[in-house]
Chains A and B, each alone.
Chain A
Amino acid sequence: MPLHVERVSHRYGPVAALDSIDLDIADGETVALIGPSGCGKSTLLGILGGLLRPSAGRVTLSGALPADSLNPFTYVFQDFALLPWRTVEANVALALEHRVNAAERRERVAAALALTSLADFASAYPKQLSGGMRQRVGIARALVVRPAVLLLDEPLSALDAQTRELLMEDLLRIWSREKSTRVYVTHNLEEAARLADRVVVLSRRPGRIREIVRIDAPVSDRAAIIPDMQRKLWALIRDEAATADREVQDV
């Protein structure tokens, strides 16, 4: 689903978070959003998903929604945002309950759990799961509605390095099958270099687009170029991050 960000700015009271963002995202594209802490990445994602009203500018969609999509925009959250009183299965079913009958719901939930290797934990509660498993539940919950646009806000940053690696492999495997447009916010340059078709580098606050880096190699065949790409992204972001860091300390 093509997405158009047109001159979007956002302020929180006196704080300018985003400044005049223009960005077109193609259907089926994966865009990574990187930038120093506090530059407005989550804000932009919130505006994309309709959770925040931008102070100026607008976000539009073009084209028709896929027929089987129940919720055009869904999120995967950094802190998982699971309901602790619901089992894995019930968490995944949450967004289906008010629009899909029980039989189809069971079918969709089972498929999403199988895709995320959670079938054996369907009736576990979140507190019984490891961080990686919890985020798998978050991913299953987002996929079960067949989103046209998947918005991920640092989905792996609450996880340890090994779990993150495993989950990244899972995401690549799932995404090779599920076609959707994806916006992926991250601090991790390797994640950006491995998962994205384009990497949007934002400046420090107020976030402006500093550069857009296209990665042409197919996602399945990137091992060779990832280190170079990481270096390139780091060069773009280093000064911004250092300055942003000092600014935060000044406050």
Chain B
Amino acid sequence: MSERQPIPFRGGGFAPAPRRVLPWLVFAVLIALWQAASNTGLLPPLFMPSPLSVVKALVALWQDGTLVGHVTASLGRIVPGWLIGTAAGLAVGLAMGIFSAARAAGIPIVSALFPIPKIALLPLLILWFGIGEPSKIATIALGVFFPTTISAYTACDSVPRNLIRMGQSFGLPARDIVAKILLPGAMPGILAGFRISASVALLLVVAAEMIGAQQGIGAFVLTAGSLMQTDQLLAGVVMLSLLGLLIGWGLGMVERAMLKWR
């Protein structure tokens, strides 16, 4: 060997690395383009208001209390609906994860009912509970129930069997095996399921409010649309996006607190 040559590097890429500025830059550029298109008249304000007017509408609606009222109304449905659906879904899903009989009984029913878009049941639930709050809450609870059930029992399945064998070999009572091995082991899967059920709840609250409500972001967006107040309409949509982000952030906090060991 006479000449020394460097070995060409070819190990780069294919490893997502965090970028600080880029995400915000993309966001800013898209909004700037949108504003520019509005300013030049490329986008007719009636069909697509400019970002600036959406922000203005958002601020105005927030300050005069309109949005606060609608957000409160929506949360008043999401929170109880989600809680009821989650409690019932966890009870059924964990039973299915623990007991073979519950699983055998539950799987056909859950598989048959899970694919039904739950909003289709709203008219029936209105007949049962009336047009008021309970029918909307029940729709959300139903929508949350099924994904929670499924994520709870699949989370139980994902707990390594050898950990359960370990508990048995150390003579732990069945109650302790459930409380100290099965439930903590299933927790990551259950919490991941909460993200899905939270987005289902948000979707269903808007749909239910569009069908029959005076208050709530869904109703507000629908009314704004029929009055052609597209800036208010988009302000409502932005509010929904913020709400979704807030819920996701909250769940992230819960996950980090409960899954420190990962």
Interface, chain A (partner B; CB < 8 A):
49-51, 70-71, 73-75, 77, 79, 81, 83-86, 94-95, 97-98, 125, 127, 141, 145, 151
Q: Report the minimal beta-carbon distance from B179 to chain A, rounded to whole angstroms.
A: 10
From 21 to 72 in chain B, residues with beta carbon under 8 angstroms from any chain A beta carbon are none
Contact indicator A83/B184 (Cβ below 8 Å): yes
Cα of A151 to Cα of B168 in the assembled complex, Å: 14
Among A77, A84, A145, which residue has its beta carbon within 8 angstroms of that of B166? A77
Which residues from A are CB-within-8-Å of B176? Answer: 97-98
Contact indicator A98/B184 (Cβ below 8 Å): no
Cα of A73 to Cα of B184 in the assembled complex, Å: 25
Contact indicator A75/B163 (Cβ below 8 Å): no
Contact status of A85 and B261, CB under 8 A, knowing A94-B180, A97-B176: yes
Which residues from B are CB-within-8-Å of A51? Answer: 165, 168-169
Cα of A75 to Cα of B171 in the assembled complex, Å: 11
Contact indicator B173/A98 (Cβ below 8 Å): yes
Most A CB atoms within 10 A — which of B160, B180, B181?
B180
Q: Is B124 an interface residue (CB 8 A)?
A: no
Closest to B170 in A: A95
Which residues from A are CB-within-8-Å of B160? Answer: 81
Among B165, B171, B184, B187, which residue has its beta carbon within 8 angstroms of that of A95? B171
Contact indicator A73/B169 (Cβ below 8 Å): yes
Contact indicator A94/B262 (Cβ below 8 Å): no
Which residues from A are CB-within-8-Å of B185? Answer: 83, 85
Contact indicator B169/A83 (Cβ below 8 Å): no
Contact indicator A71/B170 (Cβ below 8 Å): yes
Closest to A126 in B: B261
Which residues from A are CB-within-8-Å of B261? Answer: 84-86, 125, 127
Closest to B176 in A: A98
Contact indicator A81/B168 (Cβ below 8 Å): no
Which residues from A are CB-within-8-Å of B242? Answer: none
Which residues from B are CB-within-8-Å of A127? Answer: 261-262
Among A74, A85, A125, which residue has its beta carbon within 8 angstroms of that of B169? A74
Q: Report the minimal beta-carbon distance from A70 to chain B, rounded to whole angstroms.
A: 8
Contact status of A83 and B165, CB under 8 A, knowing A94-B170, A94-B172, A125-B261: no
Cα of A73 to Cα of B168 in the assembled complex, Å: 11
Closest to B173 in A: A98
Q: Is B2 an interface residue (CB 8 A)?
A: no
Most A CB atoms within 10 A — which of B160, B171, B187?
B171
Among B166, B173, B180, B259, which residue has its beta carbon within 8 angstroms of that of A75? B166
Contact indicator B169/A98 (Cβ below 8 Å): no
Q: Report the minimal beta-carbon distance from A152 to chain B, rounded to whole angstroms.
A: 12
Cα of A172 to Cα of B261 in the assembled complex, Å: 32
Which residues from A are CB-within-8-Å of B184? Answer: 83, 85
Q: Is B162 an interface residue (CB 8 A)?
A: yes
Q: Report the minimal beta-carbon distance from B159 to chain A, rounded to whole angstroms.
A: 10
Contact indicator B262/A84 (Cβ below 8 Å): yes
Can you list 29 A-B contacts with CB-CB less than 8 angstroms, sorted by A residue number? A51-B165, A51-B169, A71-B171, A74-B169, A75-B169, A75-B170, A77-B162, A79-B162, A81-B160, A81-B162, A81-B163, A81-B165, A83-B163, A83-B184, A85-B184, A85-B187, A85-B259, A85-B261, A86-B261, A94-B167, A94-B172, A95-B170, A95-B171, A97-B176, A98-B172, A98-B176, A127-B261, A145-B170, A151-B169
**Interface 1/0s, chain B 126-146, versus A by CB < 8 A?**
000000000000000000000
Contact indicator B163/A95 (Cβ below 8 Å): no
Most A CB atoms within 10 A — which of B172, B261, B262?
B261
Cα of A50 to Cα of B166 in the assembled complex, Å: 12
Which residues from B are CB-within-8-Å of A86? Answer: 261
Q: Report the minimal beta-carbon distance from A216 to chain B, rounded to whole angstroms.
A: 32
Closest to B167 in A: A94
Which residues from B are CB-within-8-Å of A74? Answer: 169-170
Which residues from B are CB-within-8-Å of A141? Answer: 170
Which residues from A are CB-within-8-Å of B171? Answer: 70-71, 95
Query: What 4 new A-B contacts, CB under 8 Å, besides A79-B162, A84-B261, A85-B259?
Result: A94-B172, A98-B173, A98-B176, A127-B261
